[in-house]
Amino acid sequence: MKNIKVLGTGCSNCKTTVRLIDEIAKENGVEIQLEKVEEIRDIMSYGVMATPGVVIDGEVVHSGGVPSKEKIQKWFTAK
């Protein structure tokens, strides 16, 4: 199971990112634990200055703007 955190204050881009990650994980049959992190202090602790940010298993894999479907797909198919 992948532990995924979406870092952002609740803007439409952050909500879209959460929705896309959830949809693509389900399409690929990948079990995830998806968490939304909205506290600025917590977001900054990851060193993310532009939201939305995405953290997978403790590693920042994206920040600034909605990730493409192709990029999200790679997160679930990479070994």
The set of catalytic residues is 11, 14
**What is residue 69's DSSP assignment?**
H
User: Nearest CA to 21 among 34, 8, 39?
Assistant: 34
Peptide bond into 67 cis (omega under 30): no
State which amino acid sits at residue 11: C
